[in-house]
């Protein structure tokens, strides 16, 4: 394999820390596999390349025309940043769908955490890639399960796990099978009159996750003395908070934003399913970076506590800092979080006076008022 320096890669603008790196052995195994059979770059699609390690290593080896899909906007920005720093080019970015996969004979995949996301990807490859396409999926052994093989076997005639190397393993799926007329996603569920829609990569799918339910219950006590309040659902997921607020406050101007393209696609479907697509703006963005400072009267926040497969408070703290930037003086952020996390201290420091609204055995809901 060409001597590509993976250590030169950064996660920026995502959270960076000594125990978090921008590549792993799985990336290296996928690159080595792709360089073996001599498939030209314009017949290669890469999915789930978190910070550009696979794409940049292949481009650095001389491949051109590679098509890339990254779900997270932070990953897209990291790829661009790393490419500029290394002076490497040779790929195009695509949203998930037929445009990404048409003509592809080799699809490289960093295995997602959710089986639903893997199901959606496997279906898409079998549906839109070439009839002789091969999907090579890799992951860290500790996160891999036999259920992943079973999902792949529903869309491919041959599924061959490879020997593990450096605590990573590849699964090679070939001979795509016939697919149903309609794709399996998005899925829909109705919760007390609220319809949630979800594509495979959306957190919790079309279910109403426990933390969101706790915050929705607490929001019944929320009353803003503002005409046409400007409201931001920061890290919106499938859009439950934004949709519920828009339905109960028809005069509000609501923006739902998330860094996940799958979440944004899901939230847009949610708004349409509830008849409010014209009243809620859904955007793909990193921590509301494209929204103006001091523009929101209210921020709704259910921050994540994972970065990929790692438990880390950094993602949640970035959203708390973003909420502080977005709020007008006197504006409020209502936050739900796992009670063991130290988010209340961060909210008090970065936003302002913070009080507990409610607490369950697992979750805490707080109200923070932006200091002047």
- Do 152 and 137 form a contact (C-beta atoms < 8 A)? yes
Is residue 198 located within the same domain as residue 166? Answer: no
Is residue 17 located within the same domain as residue 108? Answer: yes
- Do 234 and 299 form a contact (C-beta atoms < 8 A)? yes
Q: Does pLDDT of 342 surpass 90?
A: no
Q: Could you tell me if residue 320 is inside a domain?
A: yes
Over residues 50-99, the pLDDT tens digits come to 999 999 999 999 999 999 999 999 999 999 999 999 999 999 999 999 99
pLDDT of residue 125: 98
Count of the separate structural domains present in the chain: 2
Is residue 253 located within the same domain as residue 349? Answer: yes
pLDDT of residue 306: 46
% of the chain residues with pLDDT over 90: 88
User: pTM, whole model, 2 decimals?
Assistant: 0.93
Q: Does pLDDT of 312 surpass 60?
A: no
- Do 135 and 153 form a contact (C-beta atoms < 8 A)? no
Q: Does pLDDT of 155 surpass 90?
A: yes
Query: Residue 2: pLDDT band by 50, 70, 90 thresholds?
Result: low
pLDDT of residue 309: 46
Identify the DSSP state of 121: H
Tokens of 19: 């125990």
pLDDT of residue 188: 98
Q: Quick one: average pLDDT of 106-122?
A: 97
Q: Quick one: average pLDDT of 245-256?
A: 95
Q: Categorise residue 208: left if φ over 0, alpha if ψ from -120 to 50, beta otherwise.
A: beta
Question: How many Å apart are CA 288 and CA 318, to the nearest integer?
Answer: 10
Q: Does pLDDT of 314 surpass 80?
A: no
Question: How many Å apart are CA 9 and CA 6, to the nearest integer?
Answer: 6
SS3 labels along 42-92: HHEEEECCCCCHHHHHHHHCCCCCEEEECCEHHHHHHHHHHHHHHCCCCEE
% of the chain residues with pLDDT over 70: 97
Look up the domain containing 359 and give its range.
187-369
Is residue 338 located within the same domain as residue 301? Answer: yes
Q: Does pLDDT of 136 surpass 80?
A: yes
Is residue 160 located within the same domain as residue 196? Answer: no
Is residue 81 located within the same domain as residue 123? Answer: yes
Question: How many Å apart are CA 166 and CA 330, to the nearest integer?
Answer: 52
Q: From 344, 226, 243, 345, select the one nearest 296 (Cα to Cα).
A: 226
Is residue 128 located within the same domain as residue 172? Answer: yes
Q: Does pLDDT of 235 surpass 50?
A: yes
> Can you say how many angstroms the Cα of residue 246 is from the centroid of all Cα atoms in its chain?
23
Question: How many Å apart are CA 63 and CA 40, to the nearest integer?
Answer: 7
Q: What is the number of other CB atoms lying within 10 angstroms of the CB of residue 216?
A: 22
Q: Could you tell me if residue 181 is inside a domain?
A: no
Give the end of a domain, one of 126, 149, 176. 176
Is residue 170 located within the same domain as residue 226? Answer: no
pLDDT of residue 313: 56
Q: From 70, 111, 63, 109, select the one nearest 93 (Cα to Cα).
A: 70
Hey, what's the torsion of the CAs at 196, 202, 205, 209, to 10 degrees? -80
Could you give the 3-state DSSP secondary structure of residue 257?
A: strand
Q: Quick one: average pLDDT of 332-338?
A: 95
Identify the DSSP state of 317: H
Is residue 168 located within the same domain as residue 191? Answer: no
pLDDT of residue 271: 98
CATH number of 248's domain: 3.40.50.150
Q: Categorise residue 328: left if φ over 0, alpha if ψ from -120 to 50, beta otherwise.
A: beta
């Amino acid at each position: 394999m060409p001597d590509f320096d993976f250590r030169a890669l950064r996660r920026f603008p995502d959270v960076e820390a000594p125990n978090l790196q921008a590549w792993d052995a799985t990336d290296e195994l996928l690159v080595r596999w792709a360089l073996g059979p001599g498939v030209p770059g314009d017949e290669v699609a890469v999915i789930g390349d978190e910070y550009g390690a696979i794409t940049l290593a292949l481009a650095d080896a001389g491949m051109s025309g590679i098509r890339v899909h990254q779900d997270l906007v932070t990953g897209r920005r990291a790829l661009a940043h790393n490419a500029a720093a290394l002076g490497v080019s040779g790929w195009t970015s695509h949203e998930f769908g037929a445009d990404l996969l048409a003509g592809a004979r080799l699809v490289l995949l960093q295995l997602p955490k959710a089986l639903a996301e893997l199901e959606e990807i496997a279906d898409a490859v079998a549906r839109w890639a070439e009839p002789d396409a091969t999907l090579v999926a890799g992951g860290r052994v500790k996160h891999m399960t036999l259920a992943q093989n079973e999902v792949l076997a529903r869309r491919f005639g041959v599924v061959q796990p490879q020997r593990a190397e450096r605590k990573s393993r590849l699964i090679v799926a070939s001979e795509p099978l016939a697919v149903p007329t309609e794709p399996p996603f998005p899925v829909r569920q109705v919760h007390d009159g609220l319809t949630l829609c979800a594509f495979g990569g959306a957190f919790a799918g079309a279910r109403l996750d426990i933390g969101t339910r706790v915050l929705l219950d607490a929001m019944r006590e929320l009353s803003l003395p503002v005409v046409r309040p400007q409201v931001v659902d920061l890290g919106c997921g499938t859009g439950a908070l934004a949709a519920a607020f828009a339905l109960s406050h028809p005069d509000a101007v609501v923006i739902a934003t998330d860094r996940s393209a799958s979440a944004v696609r899901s939230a847009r479907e949610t708004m349409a399913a509830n008849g409010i697509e014209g009243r809620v703006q859904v955007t793909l963005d990193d921590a509301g970076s494209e929204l103006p400072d001091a523009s929101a009267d209210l921020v709704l926040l259910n921050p994540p506590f994972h970065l990929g497969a790692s438990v880390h408070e950094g993602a949640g703290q970035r959203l708390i800092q973003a909420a502080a930037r977005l709020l007008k003086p006197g504006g409020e952020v209502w936050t739900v979080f796992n009670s063991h996390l130290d988010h209340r201290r961060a909210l008090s420091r970065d936003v302002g006076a913070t009080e507990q609204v409610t607490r369950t055995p697992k979750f805490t809901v707080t109200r923070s008022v932006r200091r002047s």
